[in-house]
Amino acid sequence: MIKHLPEGLVPFEDCRFSRVPFAPLEGEKVFVDCRSEEGVPVFHGNLNDKVMKNVPCSGIAEHHYRFELGSFEFGDRVSYWIENCAESTRVFTFDVQQEKTYRKPLHIFKGEKDVVLDFGAFEVRYADMDGMLYQTANTAGFDKGKPCEKSELELHSDFKIEFSLNFISKLKRLSNTLMTVDSFTVREKADGTITSVSQRGMLNASYVWGTGERFDHVNQRQHGSNGRVVEKFTHQGDQTYLPIPFFMTEKGFGWSGGGSIPIQLDFSNEFTMTRAVNGQQLFDDCLYFGTTKQMLSAFIKKTGKPVLPPEWAFGTWISANGWNCDDEVDAQLEALKTYDYPADVMVLEAWSDEQTFYLWNDTTHWKNPKETIEKIRAAGLHLVLWQIPILKYEWDGEPGERLLADCQEAIDKKYCIMNEDGTPYRITENWFHNSLLLDFTNPEAVKWWFDKRKYLLDLGVEGFKTDGGEFLFDHTAKLKNGMIGLEAHNAYPGQYIGAYHDFLQENGVNGVVFSRADSTGAQMRPIHWAGDQISTWEEFRAQLTAGLTAGLSGVLFWGFDIAGFAGDLPEAELYLRATAMACFSPVMQWHAEPRSGQFYATHEDGFVNDRSPWNMAEKTECENILPASVRFAKIRRAMRPYLYREAQYCVQSGRPLMAHLCLDFPEDQTACTCNDAYMLGRKLLVAPILEKGQTTRTVYLPKGRWKHCFNQNVYDGGREMQLNVPLDEIVVLERLDG
């Protein structure tokens, strides 16, 4: 095998088979790395149609090699391929580029409601429409008004934006300058084609909320986002499955970026945003004005109508990857009865064969799927099945006839995503590597895919856990709708999840899709969960951060795996504190990784790693776990009507069910800095315990009157309070006058 992908895989590690730099500038040294498992590879290249000779090769790790190409001049074109004794890569090409920085426009043109700045190589149009400021740039130009030396646009809520031949733009509110654009830097090829644009300036704000579901910080000031959908197993840090190019500030303005090409945002010192370009349009952005609630609602309205999940989705979800047969399901249904534990949703991940992922596994696991589903439904549970958007490449055994036939048909009819050269794209590395990705922009492929799954709905399945979707790495891959991989990497999860949502709706099933990856427009595809975390206090705190930031980015309905799903079982205290928070979150779910999972080596053969209350009680020998867990599940059942009413309001108004306090109390500086509490709907303030050994916590109550939901005490707000929090409780305060 030989492997080379110029753009690499993920931003948090060097895959050792990329090109560095990916898009070389004049004078930069260029290295081409590859992996070869069949001997030392050979580099073949052409520089401006002349053969490149004597390109040195060195080993950088086992089976990994580096070719040093040297530096080039602006306008040079390099094409190359790599071969070993077994195979060769396809041909790759790059053009050596140059950077140009523009710090002021050549001309300004003022129209009735817009201003156009002419920079020569491109133009930028600012237009005031519907209370928002649209900022669009392209190389084709715009219709223009009258020329002038300076201009301004009066905007919503005392904002205005000024332009001059001496600078680019200044966003002001009254006399305060809040954001500037000081320069545009573009990368371009010799023919003038712009390949990327970077905007630099100043951002006068202390708080930056949004940028997607983030695990590191609620306030992204002094931080930033690489803008890419990334699969990272546990300890996500500054990576995310769910980036959204949108942010708000406490100064009454926010921003969103158009398109699906990842946008890098840096809020450290100066404010920068950088993105690749494909075509004449450089960017299509929008500025919002008003309160945080107004800006978030406007962004959601602009990017897609939210979808309301069914009422039952706000109950308790039970799940574990180890449930792979009738006996496992029967054991869980029996436990629900034995412990009087009210549950509403059962997720089965290991239900299917391990090849097609649409056929039930063999009869040694499931004797009669129809009867199994009827049994689950008779127990009052709604069934959700795990899915993945791939046609699997079988590494561990012989592929079955059905899998081989499906793959061949998908390739022959181009139902899968294709490479630039017309061959099928295969997942480059990591999870399900070498598998095909279905092209959900191809209507015929979508019909073919779901025709194979329609029988599941007929059996009574009501939802799908749409896992994965982060696998489209190649920038040049092609989709049926004309997108290339550069644009589709972030868009693909939404295409995939949206197709499953439509499948349910078109067949009259009021069900759910439950997903971890997504991007702009996620509110049209509920529900989302925080992905993979191990069972530690640190990861628990990161889950809360993820929920708050997801909500601040337009994700209305979100959940997490109680106390993590991977690694050693959580200690009893962590499990109870996480159960309490999950009870008062949009989705309450416990889940566990495969019993032969990534951290399996710490356990003996046959160890059950379920995070169910009964298994946790047995393994930890903690007497409190079962009664406390049952109590919270019953509280959750009683809360379902409230949660559903609030969910309806969220869909109508564009508000997350789990809301940072800055949305309801934007004028309250203490509320805006509070990142360890939230509003669940409009009435309940939730303040979880996040530290080991903590039995009291400081809670900030905004102005008003608040009733403690466990001890019924009533408190006046506008102050901090120290409250006791027993292991079987959580601080939840009902707002009495809001």
DSSP 92-113: EEEE-BEEEEE-S-SEEEE-SS
- Mind spelling out the 3-state secondary structure of 593-628? CCCCCCCHHHCCCCCCCCCCHHHHHHHHCCCCHHHH
532 catalytic, yes or no? Answer: yes
Indicate the helix (H) or strand (E) that contains 659.
strand 658-659
Based on the number of CB atoms within 10 Å of its own CB, is 300 exposed (0-12), middle (13-18) or buried (19 or more)? buried
DSSP 442-499: -HHHHHHHHHTTHHHHHHT--EEEE--------TT-B-TTS-BHHHHHHHHHHHHHHH
- Distance, CA of 295 to CA of 132 (rounded, Å): 10
Among 7, 266, 462, 467, which one carries the catalytic annotation?
Answer: 467
> Is residue 678 within 8 Å of 663, Cβ to Cβ?
no
> Is residue 253 within 8 Å of 101, Cβ to Cβ?
no
Q: Could you tell me the two tokens for 496?
A: 């995939």
- Distance, CA of 228 to CA of 731 (rounded, Å): 36
3-state DSSP call for residue 390?
A: strand
Based on the number of CB atoms within 10 Å of its own CB, is 612 exposed (0-12), middle (13-18) or buried (19 or more)? buried
In the chain, helix, strand, coil percent, each to 5?
25, 30, 45
> Tokens 């074109």 map to which residue?
77
**What's the one-letter identity of residue 393?**
Y
> Is residue 671 within 8 Å of 726, Cβ to Cβ?
no
Give the residue ranges of DSSP H helices in 511-624.
537-551, 572-583, 613-620
> Is residue 680 within 8 Å of 559, Cβ to Cβ?
no
- Distance, CA of 241 to CA of 215 (rounded, Å): 10
- DSSP state for residue 399 in the 8-state scheme: P
Angle formed at CA 710 by CA 704 and CA 714, multiple of 5 degrees: 30
Based on the number of CB atoms within 10 Å of its own CB, is 696 exposed (0-12), middle (13-18) or buried (19 or more)? exposed
Please provide residue 349's backbone torsions phi and psi, each rounded to the nearest 5 degrees: -90, -40
**What's the one-letter identity of residue 63?**
H
Centre a 10 Å sphere on the Cβ of residue 455 and count the other Cβ atoms it contains. 14
Centre a 10 Å sphere on the Cβ of residue 484 and count the other Cβ atoms it contains. 17
For helices 369-378 and 326-338, the axis angle rounded to 10 degrees is: 10
3-state DSSP call for residue 269?
A: coil
Among 470, 539, 593, 646, which one carries the catalytic annotation?
Answer: 470
Among 33, 532, 561, 593, which one carries the catalytic annotation?
Answer: 532
> Is residue 298 within 8 Å of 131, Cβ to Cβ?
yes
**What's the one-letter identity of residue 713?**
N
> Is residue 723 within 8 Å of 699, Cβ to Cβ?
yes
Cα 381 vs. chain centroid, distance in angstroms?
A: 28
354 catalytic, yes or no? Answer: no
Task: Point out the residues that are catalytic.
Answer: 467, 470, 532
